Amino acid sequence: MKDTNINTFLDTVSPQVRELVLALRSVVRRVVPHAVESVVWDSLSYHRPEVGGRVKGAVCQIVAKRGQVRLDFIHGIRLSDPAGLLQGDGKSKRYISITSAADFERPEVAALVRQAGALDPAQDFGQVE
């Protein structure tokens, strides 16, 4: 699903960043094909409407700011991360910095996306607003 908002978002980043975003996007779409893709908070956002809105049903976001790419997980604190890839110390959000193809090609990244795509925050950890 590539609409005008997604094209506009992609047009705002440098060619090098766009290459990382598109490659990471293909990983997310392959691992969680049922997630809805949209541009939210100046990022590519993936959520599952059957679970809830863009926060409760969140899978992940691809953030491209200041020449850097991150894969953000709104419910990241709830994900099992034996490889220690997740960064951040917010209440719930965690992220992975993406600097090269080697970062998103790691099977652990796909495993985190898969976990996030299966998470139901309301069922597993109480209500999430």
Tell me if the pTM is above 0.85. Answer: yes
Domain range spanning residue 48? 4-122
pLDDT of 128 strictly over 60: no
Residue 96 counted as domain residue: yes
Extended strands (E) in 28-117 = 36-40, 43-47, 58-65, 68-73, 94-98
92 phi/psi in degrees, rounded to 5: -135, -35
Question: How does pLDDT run across 5-58, given as a tens digit for each residue?
Answer: 888 999 989 999 999 999 999 999 999 999 999 998 889 999 988 877 777 788
| d(C-alpha 25, C-alpha 38), whole Å | 12
Residue 16 counted as domain residue: yes
Locate 80 and state its tokens: 């099992």
Residue 109 counted as domain residue: yes
| d(C-alpha 40, C-alpha 102), whole Å | 26
Number of domains in the chain: 1
Residue 108 counted as domain residue: yes
Question: How does pLDDT run across 74-124, given as a tens digit for each residue?
Answer: 999 999 999 999 999 989 999 999 999 899 899 999 999 999 999 876 665
Give the pLDDT score at 127. 40
Q: Find the CATH number of the domain harbouring 27.
A: 3.90.1150
Give the pLDDT score at 123. 67
Q: What is the mean pLDDT of residues 54-77?
A: 91
Residue 129 counted as domain residue: no
Give the pLDDT score at 124. 54
Residue 127 counted as domain residue: no
